[in-house]
Each structure stands twice: as structure tokens, then as C-alpha cells.
Structure 1
Amino acid sequence: MADEAAEAVVKFRRTCGVKPAIPTLTHTMFLSNLDLIWLHINNFQMLFFYSPSPLVDHSSSVEGLKKSLSSVLVHFYPLAGRLKKGESGRMEVDCNDGGVEFTEASINIPFQDLERDGFRRKHYFQKLVHEVGLSGEENHSGPLLSIQVSKKTGGMCIGTTLHHAMADGNSFWHFMTSWAECSRGITIAKPPQLDRTFVRRGEKNPLSISYKAHEIVSSEITEATVFKLVAEDPEHLQQSGSGYVENPKETLEKWVDPGMKTEVIYTTFFFTEEIIQDLKRRSGASSSFVAVAAQFWRCVMRAREVPLEETVCFLLLADCRGRVNPPLLPTYFGNCLYMGLAQTTANTLINSPISFAADVIHQLINSCYEETQMDHLIDWAELPNRNFIDLIREAGWEYGTNVISSPRFRVYDIDYGWGKPLEVQTATMNEIGAMFLSCAKDGGKSILVSTCLPQHQMEVLHRFLFLVGENRSVLLSAYPVKPETLIKLPVNLRKNVDSVVLLPSASSHRGNARDLKAYQRDLKTGEIDSTTVMVEIELQAVLKMSRTSIVKPAFPTPPSTMFLSSLDLLLLPFNSSQRLLFYKLPPANDYS
């Protein structure tokens, strides 16, 4: 992988500022408490890979992107502003039409090479987005939105970097969809609602709020808790210093993008519609999200070899636009997320059936939408320097899985006029073992789950994530074997296939079919070829031995001693060569 990064050269051609097509209202925009808790979190970065028709001129397409970006910024003009401190010391947006940063770059890797490799994550992908600091003043100055268009022979990559204090996932995809609409020359379907003053507390004294664990009350669940925000005695507000971050950057680096310090690999798992239905059946989950998340949570904690006595967490971010008072429109542009967190022990999670994890996640989702929780979150964030990391710290996070994005976002519908993207990836992960969920290209019936782990932990996750059922099978494949390969299997085999697993980078070993032991051995030594495909079918069968006999030559042969050459003797220590030949006999054929 280091060799790949060394071979790839990203050259930055030019950078300019793109301003709204017409001057917009100059003013200072209020940032709500729900925005400020994301102030120290790393920016939202995405990669979109496109392969326009050869008839599309690259220069004109880039100019078209700039022009449509300028048009859409008229509606989303705060993104062209800058963060600044107000008179009270509170961060706010200076809506000054400062502009969005737009960078043109090129890369010397042919687009076809990336496509053949299934857009498998490379180190140099990080250079396809604008480089920004993680926290503190590094993340408070400069453009709120940066776009980088990197040209490759046969295609291009659009990298986006958006400050998280400006938007959550729902608002980001709202903006991207609107930009694509402008690029195609159509009126944006859903203009944004920009006013964020709905949570302004004014003269109201905020309540003292704590984040406390509550036992889940359910006949199906034991030894599991969900955290809820609870109003405390007013004196607690003065006595409690929890949540004040002395050094936000030091706290942040313990949480976000550990790949900057630890060598990790990125892998995407493809959950087909059939797999999801099977997981829902076995987990009792009513939603695809719960079924997939439950399975991933269990397996990634096992892959990380968490001690059984340790506490493990599950964190999700719930869109609560309809849960605040008064409710917000779906087009509200900003942050409106509630952080739901559940805990149990590694022993309970790993050694319980998948239905346990699914029930915990279901209860967690319900708790996020309780009537008081969003109001309490707004009050909790009223104290200076409160941020998202503090909630995690109050809960005692050590081992856990957090969910990023959602499969309901139509990430493959971002069409600028030359077709939908061939690949969409997150450029950053904010935690080892996190889940980045997105819908697949089949219109949302399947789910893609991306994650990052150290090499050895990813190998364990590959083995456990889908090998879970009885009488089931798994199709293990590496890029460039595409998920569509699954539908080409015979029907009777496809019904017993749990999933397609995308293997990590491979080396020089050549081969076709591999048995499971060979796969596990070669995975450890790195000797898996990028074109290796293995179909391993687990079937329960009973073999009855009827009789055994020795078959001699049809007529006697002369006794003699046969010489074995040196080439023969070299193979003496190896196992015998064994083959299975399967025949389909006519019904009328007598077996005997």
C-alpha cells in the first residue's frame, strides 16, 4: 500500500473562491447549541468518483461545476461565510460571501485502474480532499466548505470538505442534491430553511443536565443500559465541572480518526437484500438498519478482542427535526442530532444471540425520541465549551461502535449531468471500528458498511461477520469482483449465500478456488490475490460407508521395483492429491 501511495502523484493546479452568483444578505448568523457541540469534531469529508462520457470535455465540466456551485450558494449562502467569535465570545457565522474554496488537481493514476480495483481504499485518497486541522483554531478559520476536483485519465473525483458545525448528514446531502440539480439546469426542489434561532435560550436559565445510564426494562434484555439526559438539582450546575474541555484538541485526538496514529485499513462490506432479510429473521428486527447494526456491533467487538468483562458501547445519531418544539421542516439546514448511547458487557453482547443486540439498539432508538431529550440536550450544551466528546466521556466510553451516516441517504443519486457516481466513499472515519452506512446502487435494497481497523482485527472481522448461521455459506471475494457477481450464481446456491465480503489488499499469490483453511492461512500471510474468489458452502451431510474393497489389475502384472526420481521424492512429504468428480445420473440408471 505504501508503494501505491508512492506511485500516485496528486498535483494541485489552481485554487479559487466561488461566491454566490448574486450578492446575498450580509449579516451574522446565530449557531445553535446543537451546532456548537460539533465545533471541535473533524470535518465531514466525502469522495465521489465519476466516469463521464469521452464526449464530455473535462475543462467545460469543471467550469460547469463552478457555475452551478455559484448558483446553489445563493440558496445556501451561509456556506460561503466564515466562522468568527461574537461579542459574547460565542462562535457565529459571518455571512459575508467570502466564498467556497474550489481546487483543481490531477492524479497520474488511470481511472480504469481504480475501477478495476473496485475503488479499494488507498493512502493517497486523503489527498483528494482539502486538508484541514482537526480541532481548535485550526478548524475555526478558513472556508466552511471546500471542493476539490481531481482529474484522472478517464474520470474524475469530487472531494468535499464541510465544517460539521454548519450541517449534519441530512443537511449535507440536501446541499449536494441541490447542487446537482443546479448543475443539470433544473430548479432546486427543496430550498433550505436557514434560520437557527429556534433553540435560542434568551434569558431562560438552563437546567442542570446529566447524562445517566438507565437499565433497559424488557423481558428480552438483561445487563444492558441506555443513557439519557436527566434534569438535576440547580446546585448541581455550579458543583459539576464535567463537560468543560480544558484541551479540546487533546480530547479530540483520543476519539477522531485514529488512523492518523495507528496503521489501519479500510474495508466495505456488502449486505444484499437477501442477507438483510435473513438477519432480520434471525434477530427479530423490524428494520434493516437494526439488523445490520446488531450483527456488526457483535462481530467488531469480537474482532477487537475486547476482554469479556469490559463494557462495550453502541452510539447512534438520530435526526430529531420532528422532535423539537416546535417541529422543524425536513429542509432545516443545520445540525439537529441526538446522541443515543447504549452499554452492556462484551461477554453479554458476544455470547448472546443476535436478537439481544437488536433489542438493545431498538430500545436505544426509542429512547432518542422521548419528549424531553432534545430540550435537555440544548440545555446541556449551554455551558461554555460543551461538545459531543463530553457526552462520550461522561458515559465512560472505552470500547464501542458508532454509526455514521444512514442508508436512507441516496448517495448514488448525485448526478451533475454526466451520470451517477460509480463510487461514493467517506474520506475520514472518526473512530476505529465505526460503521459508515450507505445505500447501494440498487436503490436502497442493499446496504454498504464501511469501517477501518488495524490489519489483524480486520482479518478477524472478515471471518466472523457473515459466518454466523447454520447451513449457510459465504462468498468471500476481493475487488474487483463486484457485488453483482452474487446474482450470477445458480439459484440454489445463491439462496444459501450470506454475503459478499470485500477482502483487503492482496499480493502476488495466484489461484482460483480456495478452501477455507487455505484462505485463513493466506490471509494471515498476505498471500491473497486481488482476483481470488472463494465459495465455501457449509452443509450438514451424513455419509454412510457401505463397503470397502481393494481393486486389483484386471490381469496379473509382473512383480518389479520401480525407481522414483528426485523430482518424485521432492513431493513425498506432501499430502496425497485428492479430487471429487460429480456426475448426474439419468433417473432410469441403476446405481448398482
Structure 2
Amino acid sequence: MELPNSSVKVVQVCRVTRVAPASPLPDLSLPLTFFDIRWLRFAPVQLLYFYEISSSSSIDSTFSFDSILDKLKTSLSLTLKHFLPLAGNLTWPKDSPKPVLSYVQGDTLRLTIVESSNADFARLSSNYGLLEAQEYHPLVPQLEVSHERAAVMSLQITLFPNKGFSVGAAVHSAVFDGSTANLFFKSWAHICKHQGATSSSLPDQLKPFYDRAVIDDQKGLGTLFSIQYQGMDGPNNRSLMVWELQVPQDSVRATFEITRASIQSLRGHVMAAIGSDTSLHLSTFSLACAYTWVCLVRAEETKEDEARLVFSVDCRSRLDPPIPATYFGNCVVGCLVVAKTKGLLGEDGLVVALSAISETLRNLVKKGLLNEAESWVSRLSSLRSGRLVGIAGSHQFGMYEISFGWGSPSKVEFVSIDRTGAISMTDSKNGGGGVDVGLVLKKQYMDAFASLFVKGLIPHSKI
């Protein structure tokens, strides 16, 4: 079986469930909170991890793809003992006011094994090269979604003979936030790397926490969001179909590194410009976001009077009382940053961007995490019009630490940013406290962005 317009062929389609239990599992149901329902119709997030390992590798000179696949599949089944909801589905029963995540006996997680016959693994897994936007599409799975039912996750392992393999994933936005997705992959990798004959233990920091009672919904936001979604595209619309997003034509993909030294240089540049002003937030995240945003606005020659940036803030440690870091599900709020385009294009663009980001973070603390939460779903249509730059991922996830036993990833990608237009952010492949940012842009804009990005990081250059 050949996948359309690709150089890969399907070898096997597996339906994975947890390792066989001593007795049948009961049917399970996990309620969705308002943090989850907010993302009900959002397109799945697609992730991709590359691992280089050849027959001459010093890691394992006797490896075979059969042994790699056996370990990956066995460890995945063992991992599902801890993440059983991942084999379930989202449904919206007629007698339920809200969608639910349910696991029914026989539910499985879809894992597709494919082989690439002639793809250039070195090129695809090189962290700082230029690629066509859709080149990764054959390496990530599609999520099975219909009006009545939506899978939670789908996985794909692609084998590159004598080179390595990749692990691709599509995850439902109403079930996962970045922290939960990262928790799953670190757990799977841990079990794969350390598994014995039947071992599937996880350290406490990797054990998912499922208690929904820790999310207080006194305002009934979950029901409100469900009603608002039902009113979209017709009355009583309980469809679970996600919004389809298209990849702009002539788009290319690239990753850029901001080293720790560059972050320090940017911080010093800002401090020299603001003097004694201590109101700006000068964290690595804020500096990386602000710098990338300014370069992007200039590269795209934004014509709107205002430029908009949105990023997520994890609420787990910020709720009162705080909830465990391993909480399974969505627990983030979106922070919308607005700045005058003229200011971002000016000589002090970085300071303008940081000022806008800092003000948004101060308002989050001052007004509370759930300020204006009632409008999170109702205002989606207005947010989807015009250019809105999102941030996907975080440099704090440690995605380059995810090793299944054959070394760290040679590359990590958020494939779905080619549809959303977001900026991806991970820890630097090269380590050392740096940040890798990824973008998908039309070729002329990417060329302009690359020039601005590199030039602005040269010591003593103006940003």
C-alpha cells in the first residue's frame, strides 16, 4: 500500500491496547473540563521525532529494525497501563450536556508502521536546513475523526533503512496540552529504555494524575462552552469534526537557534535601552518570543495597524490550590498580546514587543487566570480573522531529552504549524540553555526572516 504523493509505504497497521490484564477492564469515562472543551474543534497537533541509528552506530552495532519495533510496540502497550484514555475516544452522547472521553472494552490506539524507500534521512532530520512545508506530511498520521467520534491519539513509526526512524503523532487538542503530550512521550520513552521482561513502572514525576475534581468550575464554563459549540454551524450541532486548515502554497519550513549567549546579549541590549525600568519581563521565553515576533513582523511587512501574538500559560502551579504537574488534560490559558505595528517596525522594536508581553503577563496576575473566560469560545471567530501568531510548545519541555534507548532525537518538529501559522519553540538541539524556533512561511518571507534573524543576533547590531 502506497501513501498518496509520498515515498513511504505502509508495512503494518497495529491496534495497540494495554498489556493484557489479568481480568477484563471496566468501561471508563473521563469528564472533560472547561479547559478541555475550549479546544474541542481545534485541529490536531502533529509532532515528529527523528532518531538516527545505523548499522555502524556506536550505540548498537547489532540492531535491527525488527528489534526496535518490538521494543517500541511492547513498551507502548506497557505505557497504556498508565495512559489508558489514549486508547479511547471522544464522544458526545445525546443525554450528556458535554462531550466525554470514554474507554470501552476493545478500544485501541492506532499505530501505523511505514517504511521510506528513498527519502533523504539526513536532510529531513537536519535541524537548520530549509524544507518544503509539506515534506513531513507522509511521516505523521491522521487522527480518526467523524461527527460522532474522535480518536484521542494516533501514532506512526517510519523506518529509514540503514539510517534511523521517526515517531510521528497526531493528538486531539481537547485532550492534550503540551505538558500532557510531553508527559506521555517521556513515559513511553522511559519504559522503552528501561523495560525488563514485564516491567512497566514509572517514576512519580511521570505518573499521570486524573482527578478532575481539582478543576473548579463554579461558573459552569464547561456547559457554556458546550452550548456555544453546539450553536456553531447550525442548531444543536454536536459534531466532533475539527476545523480543517490548509497549508499555504509555496511555503517552506525552517528552524533557527537562539543560543544562551544570544539570549544574554538580547537581555543586555534591552537593559541598556530601558535603564532603571524593572517592569519588563526578561525571561528566556519572553526574549525569544519578542525577538522572533519582531523579526516576523518585519519580514512579512505587516500592514495592519496592530500585530497580535498569543501564547499559552500553564495553570497547574498557578491555580489555588496548585494541582500536580502531572495532571492529565488541558490546563492552560491563552495570553493575547497586542502591539502597534509601527512600534515593532521601529528601532526599539524589541523593547516594544517585550513591553506588550510584560503588560499581558502582569494583567494575567492582576486580573486572574480566568478573567473573561466566558468569552474564550464565543470570540474564536474574531481571533481567527487576520494575522494572529501563536506559539506552539515550550523550551522548558525538554523534548530533546526524550530517548527510547537509541540516543536523543536528532530533530523534533511541530508539523502542524504549517497549517496554523504558529511559531514552534523547543529547547535547543545543541543544549546549553538555548532555544530552537521553527516557522513555516512563504519563501520570500522566509528569506527575509532568516536575514533579519541572523543579523539581529550579531553582537552590537541593532534589533
TM range (shorter): 0.7 to 0.9
Equivalent-residue separation in structure 1 for 2:217 and 2:246 (angstroms)? 36
TM-score by length of 1: 0.65
Where 1:299 maps in the other structure, the secondary structure is helix
Q: 1:206 to 1:165 in 2, by over 3 A?
A: closer
Equivalent-residue separation in structure 1 for 2:455 and 2:120 (angstroms)? 36
Q: 1:92 aligns with which of 95, 100, 119?
A: 100
**Shift in Å at residue 94 of structure 1?**
1.4
Equivalent-residue separation in structure 1 for 2:428 and 2:458 (angstroms)? 27
Q: 1:17 to 1:200 in 2, by over 3 A?
A: farther
1:306 paired to 2:315: no
1:347 paired to 2:342: yes
Q: 1:243 to 1:360 in 2, by over 3 A?
A: farther
Does the 8 Å CA contact 1:268/1:448 hold for their aligned counterparts?
yes
Superimposed CA distance per residue, residues 37-73 of structure 1 (whole angstroms, 9 cap, x where no aligned partner): 1111111211111123522111111111111111111
Equivalent-residue separation in structure 2 for 1:37 and 1:356 (angstroms)? 30
Q: 1:196 aligns with which of 212, 216, 219?
A: 212
Q: 2:78 aligns with which of 52, 71, 91?
A: 71
Where 2:36 maps in the other structure, the secondary structure is helix
Alignment correspondent of 2:137: 126
Equivalent-residue separation in structure 2 for 1:471 and 1:111 (angstroms)? 34
* AA at the equivalent of 1:349: L
Give 1 or 2 for the bigger CA radius of gyration.
1
Superimposed CA distance per residue, residues 388-417 of structure 1 (whole angstroms, 9 cap, x where no aligned partner): xx4444458522321111100111111111
1:106 paired to 2:115: yes
Alignment correspondent of 1:173: 182
Superimposed CA distance per residue, residues 146-192 of structure 1 (whole angstroms, 9 cap, x where no aligned partner): 11111112211111111111110001001100111111225312211
Equivalent-residue separation in structure 2 for 1:208 and 1:76 (angstroms)? 26
Does the 8 Å CA contact 2:33/2:222 hold for their aligned counterparts?
no
1:460 paired to 2:456: no
Does the 8 Å CA contact 1:338/1:368 hold for their aligned counterparts?
no
Equivalent-residue separation in structure 2 for 1:301 and 1:169 (angstroms)? 26
Equivalent-residue separation in structure 2 for 1:242 and 1:282 (angstroms)? 46
1:279 paired to 2:266: yes
Does the 8 Å CA contact 1:257/1:429 hold for their aligned counterparts?
no
Alignment correspondent of 1:138: 146
Q: 1:17 aligns with which of 2, 15, 18?
A: 15
Which structure exhibits the higher relative contact order, with contacts defined as CA atoms closer than 8 Å and separated by 6 or more residues? 2
Equivalent-residue separation in structure 1 for 2:115 and 2:104 (angstroms)? 31
Equivalent-residue separation in structure 2 for 1:417 and 1:350 (angstroms)? 46
Q: 1:395 to 1:468 in 2, by over 3 A?
A: same
Does the 8 Å CA contact 1:191/1:331 hold for their aligned counterparts?
yes
Alignment correspondent of 2:317: 322
Equivalent-residue separation in structure 1 for 2:397 and 2:459 (angstroms)? 34
Equivalent-residue separation in structure 1 for 2:368 and 2:459 (angstroms)? 46
Alignment correspondent of 2:59: none
Alignment correspondent of 1:560: none
Q: 1:330 to 1:313 in 2, by over 3 A?
A: same
- Write out aligned runs for 1:553-564 (5 A): none
**Shift in Å at residue 141 of structure 1?**
2.9
Q: 1:110 to 1:263 in 2, by over 3 A?
A: closer
Give RMSD over aligned pairs. 3.3
Alignment correspondent of 1:577: none
Equivalent residues, number? 424
Sequence identity of aligned pairs in percent? 23
- Write out aligned runs for 1:389-400 (5 A): 390-394=378-382, 398-400=386-388
Alignment correspondent of 2:332: 337
Does the 8 Å CA contact 1:266/1:453 hold for their aligned counterparts?
yes
Equivalent-residue separation in structure 2 for 1:472 and 1:448 (angstroms)? 22
Q: 1:322 to 1:392 in 2, by over 3 A?
A: same
Equivalent-residue separation in structure 2 for 1:113 and 1:395 (angstroms)? 36
Alignment correspondent of 1:245: 232
Does the 8 Å CA contact 2:97/2:223 hold for their aligned counterparts?
no
- Write out aligned runs for 1:435-584 (5 A): 435-443=423-431, 445-468=433-456, 472=460
Alignment correspondent of 1:62: 69
Equivalent-residue separation in structure 2 for 1:67 and 1:430 (angstroms)? 32
Alignment correspondent of 2:278: none
TM-score by length of 2: 0.82
Does the 8 Å CA contact 2:88/2:103 hold for their aligned counterparts?
yes
Alignment correspondent of 1:28: 29
